[in-house]
Amino acid sequence: MRAADVGDTVMGRLVAEYGAPRAVEAIRTRALPPEFVAREAEQERPQDLTSRLNAWYARLAAADPVADVEAGLRSGARLIIPGDPEWPTQLDQLGRSRPLGLWAHGNADLRFSCLQSVAVVGARAATAYGAHLAAEFGVGLSESGWTVVSGGAFGVDGAAHRGALAAGAPTVVVLACGVDVCYPTAHEPLFTAIREKGVVVSECPPGVHPTRARFLIRNRLIAALSRGTVVVEAALRSGALNTATHALALNRHLGAVPGPVTSAMSAGCHKLLRERKAVCITTPEDMIDLVGVIGDDLAPQLRAPVVARDKLNEPTKRVLDAVPSRGGAGPASIAVAAGVALDKTLSALGGLAAAGYIERTPDGWRLRRQPSAYRKASESVALDPPPTPEPDPTDAPPPP
Amino acid sequence: MRAADVGDTVMGRLVAEYGAPRAVEAIRTRALPPEFVAREAEQERPQDLTSRLNAWYARLAAADPVADVEAGLRSGARLIIPGDPEWPTQLDQLGRSRPLGLWAHGNADLRFSCLQSVAVVGARAATAYGAHLAAEFGVGLSESGWTVVSGGAFGVDGAAHRGALAAGAPTVVVLACGVDVCYPTAHEPLFTAIREKGVVVSECPPGVHPTRARFLIRNRLIAALSRGTVVVEAALRSGALNTATHALALNRHLGAVPGPVTSAMSAGCHKLLRERKAVCITTPEDMIDLVGVIGDDLAPQLRAPVVARDKLNEPTKRVLDAVPSRGGAGPASIAVAAGVALDKTLSALGGLAAAGYIERTPDGWRLRRQPSAYRKASESVALDPPPTPEPDPTDAPPPP
């Protein structure tokens, strides 16, 4: 892990063929198997291969693996290697760019957390729109049992992680530096919170600082760990599009959230949609529909509540206003908050549930998550005239 | 045209098989060909067919065709029927719901105008975002030689027509009422302006008022007249989605403009994108790329100018600020507006054109339309770091 930089596929092949101990020994003694060197010399210009191998020799000579392991353990992290129970086997699909090992720091089990996970990625310079949606996706995916994987950066990444934390769920940060290095520094409190319930991982040894190249290489891990990637906001030049490319190359699902076409921060998402590389995603449910098991996680058809809010009677409206949108509340506390008698509250709750406004959860009643939670304007839809009958467009429009 | 309501496919079959004069005579004498009635009785419940035919008899008896023609001509309109030089033959693809005739009012030739046309449709209750984009599409399509077809309604329709007028181009309004009826009334000045350069058409006889059913039937004409339809904004229940359905059924191209997922007025567009019924359209160029001749009308790849605006020297910046975004201006007037000497202006214009900021048109210099005209934030893109090299995502990320 010290001898080559992350994602070095030549090192990947050496370790895959000869095993890590023999590889280390061969590099230390500068005695790589001649047939290996001969084969690699066909893949890359001899001078490039020579400088690559010389870099390995020099780096390994300068490395202090015992110190690395001690530093990692001292920071509270653990080292996971292929074959370990916590190794996420989906990373094996990376082939020769599979990481040699992963440092993990946090209370969650990495493999278990990523079994049902979605990568939520996007611009660091997210707009308020993008940050809002990233948080909503973090909450929504987590509440449905999906782990949010992201890069811990400013903007979309951070908002998605925070949404997951707000839902009380584990979330996975994949760093482009050592797990004991905090980048960005201002995210120290966020990473501390994530280590409580989730896990921070990196293929970089302790103490390694992020570089532009490491960010790009890191992105393949975000794509590979999760069942699908959703790009929340991305300019035409964005690291998130790099993650999207990895997701497609790994046959992972790819979604993109549209935004105003007047916003440069959505232009990358629109490009993915236009080129039909990504599916149009407007809610967390859309994404779960994409990555979930067919028939099991279908997104509900978008439908407005069947009774317009304006048609509700006054106590029922007050009860509806008292039902929380997150978590849940019991009838008694809703009755108090609404200022409506308990028996009337109970009957109003039943009616509101039947009309699709609220739902019962283990924590009590709450507003139905979909579509109201993501479409502020859903009430205006409910007040529209009844659905327009769509005439058979081919040959037989309905007579008046 | 008086005996049956618009889009009556039974009437369509009668006229197709026996010709309009024999059809009229048969209805007038209540002596429809028995084999025709027998065949239609297999298509529809006998009581429904009977009431349909009785309606024909009663309506024709009440009709005054000479008065209709006189009223139409008096209003300034003309009647176009299949086979006329001005008949848009693409309507023949409507089969038996092809209109029996079209009333047209305006100076443009209907057939010629629609040869290269795009339908721009969307919500009456458009947001400022939707109305802005509809106008931009109206301008952009028109400036590229594409006629805008729409329904003349409030919101997206009206904005699209106004954009076309602003570009000095003809535009086609398809009404759901007689061409001598102004609906919506407030659009009288708009329709007057359109009749100057474009044309207002309807399959309804003069004096007929719009009904909900006529709007839906009318939508098939908007889809059929144009080579493709772009939905700018549409709620989940929207007449524009009905037009989209017609466009797909007629094998026309369909595009949808994305918007904020938090906006109910874009939910219909996102549904079309999500179901992969529509192509993601962010600029008029995208739409022309979709409906145009392959290789001839390709949308330019989105690219920011190659020189960042901040790196331009002071006089060049002033020259750039003096170049108009619409129309065009000559070097002399730009020099005066910029307060820069003519020789320096000429040299700055050459440099700005090479850098992709401006372009030369028959009317003089103007800002390059794309992407700057539609992406207000394009300058910030230009100031971004140089494009990120995308590593081969499969197996060989670049070493640092």
Whether the ipTM is more than 0.85: the answer is no
How far is Cα B222 from Cα B208, in angstroms, rounded to an integer? Answer: 19
Q: What are phi and psi of A365, to 5 degrees?
A: -85, 145
Give me the half-sphere count of Cα atoms (radius 13 Å) on the Cβ side of residue A328. 14
How far is Cα A53 from Cα A11, in angstroms, rounded to an integer? Answer: 9
How far is Cα A229 from Cα A11, in angstroms, rounded to an integer? Answer: 28
**Cβ B286 vs Cβ B262: under 8 Å:** no
Distance from CA of A26 to the nearest CA of B (A): 21
Query: Among residues 116-175 of chain B, which lie with CB inside 8 Å of chain A?
Result: 129, 132-133
From the candidate CATH numbers 3.40.50.10490, 3.40.605.10, 3.40.50.450, 3.40.50.300, the one assigned to the domain spanning A89-291: 3.40.50.450
**Cβ B164 vs Cβ B226: under 8 Å:** no
**Cβ A231 vs Cβ A241: under 8 Å:** yes
Written as six digits, the tokens of B245 are 């359905």
Per-residue pLDDT of chain A (400 residues; tens, 9 = 90+): 999 989 999 999 999 999 999 999 999 999 999 999 999 999 999 899 999 999 999 999 999 999 999 999 999 999 999 999 999 999 999 999 999 999 999 999 999 999 999 999 999 999 999 999 999 999 999 999 999 999 999 999 999 999 999 999 999 999 999 999 999 999 999 999 999 999 999 999 999 999 999 999 999 999 999 999 999 999 999 999 999 999 999 999 999 999 999 999 999 999 999 999 999 999 999 999 999 876 555 555 544 444 567 678 888 888 888 888 888 889 888 988 888 888 888 888 988 887 778 888 888 898 886 543 333 333 333 333 333 433 333 333 333 3
What is the model's pLDDT at position A326? Answer: 80
**B260 closest CB neighbour out of A129, A246, A384:** A129
C-alpha dist (Å) from residue A174 to A102, A219, B153: 10, 8, 51
How far is Cα A175 from Cα A195, in angstroms, rounded to an integer? Answer: 13
Asked if A248 and B393 come within 8 Å (Cβ–Cβ), the reply is: yes
Please measure the distance between the N-terminal and C-terminal CA atoms of chain B and give it in whole angstroms.
74
Interface residue of B44, B236, B303 to substitute, partner A, most A CBs within 10 Å: B236
Asked if A236 and B95 come within 8 Å (Cβ–Cβ), the reply is: no
Give the pairing of strands A364-367 and A358-361.
antiparallel
Asked if B302 and A236 come within 8 Å (Cβ–Cβ), the reply is: yes
Cβ neighbours of residue B67 closer than 8 Å, sequence gap 6 or more: none
Distance from CA of B304 to the nearest CA of A (A): 9
How many residue pairs bridge chain A and chain B with CB atoms within 8 Å of each other? 205
Residues in chain A: 400
Nearest to B152 by CA among B111, B109, B105: B105
How far is Cα A243 from Cα A253, in angstroms, rounded to an integer? Answer: 12
What is the model's pLDDT at position B295? Answer: 56
Has residue B35 got a pLDDT over 60?
Answer: yes
What is the model's pLDDT at position A295? Answer: 55
Find chain A residues with C-beta within 8 A of B298's C-beta: none
**Cβ A250 vs Cβ A226: under 8 Å:** no
Of residues B310 and B233, the one with the higher pLDDT is B233
Asked if A249 and B394 come within 8 Å (Cβ–Cβ), the reply is: yes
How buried is residue B376: exposed, middle or buried, by Cβ count under 10 Å (0-12/13-18/19+)?
exposed
**Cβ A149 vs Cβ A174: under 8 Å:** yes
**A270 closest CB neighbour out of B238, B242, B258:** B258
What is the model's pLDDT at position A147? Answer: 97
Give tens-digit pLDDT for A328-369: 889 888 988 888 888 888 888 988 887 778 888 888 898 886
Asked if B381 and A236 come within 8 Å (Cβ–Cβ), the reply is: yes
Asked if A397 and B7 come within 8 Å (Cβ–Cβ), the reply is: yes
Has residue B398 got a pLDDT over 90?
Answer: no
Nearest to A327 by CA among A354, A362, A357: A362
**A393 closest CB neighbour out of B220, B238, B267:** B220
Give tens-digit pLDDT for A99-125: 999 999 999 999 999 999 999 999 999
Written as six digits, the tokens of A225 are 């760990």
Find chain A residues with C-beta within 8 A of B9's C-beta: 395-397
Nearest to B106 by CA among B114, B117, B94: B114
CA B59 from chain center: how many Å?
Answer: 34
Asked if A396 and B9 come within 8 Å (Cβ–Cβ), the reply is: yes
B89-291 matches B309-382 in fold:
no
Interface residue of B204, B273, B380 to substitute, partner A, most A CBs within 10 Å: B273
Distance from CA of B253 to the nearest CA of A (A): 14
Written as six digits, the tokens of A28 are 């230390």
> Which letter, b or e, does each residue of B153-179 get, where b requires 16 or more Cβ atoms within 10 Å of its Cβ?
bbbbbbbbbbbbbebebbbbbbbbbbb
Q: If you ran DSSP here, which 8-state letter would residue A108 be given?
A: S
Give the lowest-confidence range in B2-16, B179-193, B290-304: B290-304
How far is Cα B297 from Cα B299, in angstroms, rounded to an integer? Answer: 6
Q: If you ran DSSP here, which 8-state letter would residue A107 be given?
A: S
Asked if A97 and B261 come within 8 Å (Cβ–Cβ), the reply is: no
**Cβ A241 vs Cβ A272: under 8 Å:** yes
Written as six digits, the tokens of B238 are 């929207």
Across B64-85, average pLDDT: 96
Written as six digits, the tokens of A399 are 């007579």
Query: Among residues 270-309 of chain A, which lie with CB inside 8 Å of chain B?
Result: 270-271, 273-274, 276, 279-283, 286, 302, 304
Strands (E) in A212-345, as ranges, are: 228-231, 253-256, 279-280
Written as six digits, the tokens of A164 are 């997951």
Has residue B381 got a pLDDT over 60?
Answer: no
Written as six digits, the tokens of A67 are 């110190």
Give tens-digit pLDDT for B212-244: 999 999 999 999 999 999 999 999 999 999 999
Asked if B395 and A265 come within 8 Å (Cβ–Cβ), the reply is: no
Asked if B264 and A395 come within 8 Å (Cβ–Cβ), the reply is: no
How far is Cα A197 from Cα A169, in angstroms, rounded to an integer? Answer: 7
How far is Cα B360 from Cα B187, in angstroms, rounded to an integer? Answer: 36
What is the model's pLDDT at position A24? Answer: 96
What is the model's pLDDT at position B367? Answer: 86
Distance from CA of A335 to the nearest CA of B (A): 31
DSSP string for residues in B246-276: HHHHTT-EEEE----TT-GGGHHHHHHHHTT
Q: Is the pTM of this model over 0.80?
A: no
- Residue in chain A closest to B289 (alpha carbons) equals A274
Asked if B395 and A97 come within 8 Å (Cβ–Cβ), the reply is: yes
Q: Measured over all CA atoms, what is the biggest interatomic distance in chain B, rounded to whole angstroms?
A: 89
Asked if A283 and B262 come within 8 Å (Cβ–Cβ), the reply is: no
> Which letter, b or e, does each residue of A210-230 get, where b requires 16 or more Cβ atoms within 10 Å of its Cβ?
beebbbbbbbbbbbbbbbbbb
How far is Cα B5 from Cα B54, in angstroms, rounded to an integer? Answer: 13
From the candidate CATH numbers 3.30.2320.30, 1.10.10.10, 3.40.50.300, 1.10.10.60, the one assigned to the domain spanning B309-382: 1.10.10.10
What is the model's pLDDT at position A310? Answer: 67
Asked if B242 and A400 come within 8 Å (Cβ–Cβ), the reply is: no
Find chain A residues with C-beta within 8 A of B47's C-beta: none
How far is Cα A236 from Cα A220, in angstroms, rounded to an integer? Answer: 19
Tell me the domain boundaries of chain A. 1-63, 89-291, 309-382
How far is Cα B202 from Cα A246, in angstroms, rounded to an integer? Answer: 52
Nearest to B79 by CA among B208, B217, B203: B203
Distance from CA of A392 to the nearest CA of B (A): 9
Find chain B residues with C-beta within 8 A of A300's C-beta: none
Asked if A262 and B302 come within 8 Å (Cβ–Cβ), the reply is: no
Q: Dihedral sign, CA of A67, A68, A73, A75?
A: positive
Query: Would you place residue B305 in the very low, low, confident or very high pLDDT band (cuts 50, 70, 90)?
Result: very low
How far is Cα B221 from Cα B207, in angstroms, rounded to an integer? Answer: 19
Give tens-digit pLDDT for B254-271: 999 999 999 999 999 999
**B246 closest CB neighbour out of A375, A381, A393:** A393
Cβ neighbours of residue A382 closer than 8 Å, sequence gap 6 or more: A304, A305, A307, A308, A309
What is residue B358's three-state secondary structure? strand
Query: Among residues 66-105 of chain A, which lie with CB inside 8 Å of chain B?
Result: 95-97
Distance from CA of B97 to the nearest CA of A (A): 6
What is the model's pLDDT at position B325? Answer: 82
Written as six digits, the tokens of B3 are 């005996």
- pLDDT above 70 as % of chain B: 88
